[in-house]
Structure 1
């Protein structure tokens, strides 16, 4: 048993609480809108209810609350999908990018974060915009760049006013989008967001991030931050993905916008022996329950939860499936139960049925 898990098993299995580790976190910048004390009190009460764990780790039935289990609904592409009225903006997660070129120039094809997803949308006539924000910057910094990119890439409507959009976000991209919607408040003259669909977004943080900071320790952490600063590498994102930060800071000051519809999906998988997610998955399974290796199902739930993708890891969700697994599926050695392009086309179709 890995030492991290043995240490967790040795601890009393009490009601789970967000991490109480003491480490430096960047405070979110105050938003532009004024709120009265009474309205802020209501928001605090709402977010407290949203953030409190709704299951007991000692209760197996509660731990396995996966909602609608999605097993093979998106195994294959269909010839036709309903097309949403509004364009889709894709927002990437931590360490993400739009397209990455390993060599200068265009000698080699770039590596896309949304592997084949944008092409699937375009082939079905769905307008799609991909964005690229600072990979490891704080949520507020990433959200500002996200807003600027949507504004610059989205063409204005015929009447000269801003257009309406749907946002689909993977992982941390969902937090960027929530902050942009709630705190930056894009002007209607720029664009208006009608819906936000988050996919494996850590709305309540990740215990994997908690363990990372616990292992580093408060003495070593300032030295690492100074080193990253000298290397001109942003580090604001890391501490903001902990359960403590999301519980005590982010969700208290980033309420849902009443005019935006929120949807979410989660994923649950059991990584194979050589998977990069094997250790983190085992840790999170003990603390938070079913997870995709980086984000738990419980943390993924926000707004209208549309289901849990079974047997899917955090990278499978953006079509970064292990090549050996893909080959085994094509040879018929294992059953293919998930096609990322089919999933995202179905998400777009769901938005179309909602009138978006």
Structure 2
């Protein structure tokens, strides 16, 4: 699902804040062997609170609201307006890097656009041309610079959510206009970033839930260039109920099964409330799903209409979220040990 303007620096982001090298299919570098979570490791809890330094500052407030629960996943986005921003120009990266380095068990999760003008309404024909240029290596240097910047900042193990929601209709980095070259382009980006000395990046392939503009499996670029199978999932159609959202084609169940078949961890970089308003049943079921399937991390989108802490319009869902994830509720225990929160 597109949230136009949310991730761009400038006026749109100010509004949010105020409201609370390879060619074809061959890699130039060996496959990255990302470390998996050990049995019993806690799922890293996170939230998108703001793209810049205020997001770092708000982590402590959300943690206090959750009774001291440690937020181990720090999640933000690079603006996709210019190549300089995709290269990691925003000063707020320093704040996020400092937060990550403060504890060894933290994850820094960074959504990275694949093309500039990512929310500019570019038509399909032009998107296809840009994707082909990327597949031919024209933009490799931008991603090398980003990798160098992250390594220099002391966050070489950043989780890169590359080209998120690629199966949708809106972003310039969408897959549908040319799926084969899109996959080649993804592979070039990963090769470019892995070519930088000292990197330990993990690459998260995170489509929208559901079929959307194209089946997300059609866009999958290969096991050697993907470390995590993510999914962005909000309480909206397709799927009137949580059960339908799980069982639908290319839904939550297929994500889990696909990741298992490919030997990958899962994640939920974006999730939250939406079309059905304050829906404590959805909140309860999604949190139970997360507890059962133990992703590497999950990150609720915490502003209105999706959120629970910075959004006062969802009080019943907020209570479920707070009770489920507070330290008193046994956060981090296996799903069998997590007590179901009281009804909203």
> TM-score, length-normalised on structure 1?
0.36
Which structure ranks higher in relative contact order (CA pairs < 8 Å, sequence separation ≥ 6)?
1
> TM-score, length-normalised on structure 2?
0.37
Please say which structure displays the higher CA radius of gyration: 1
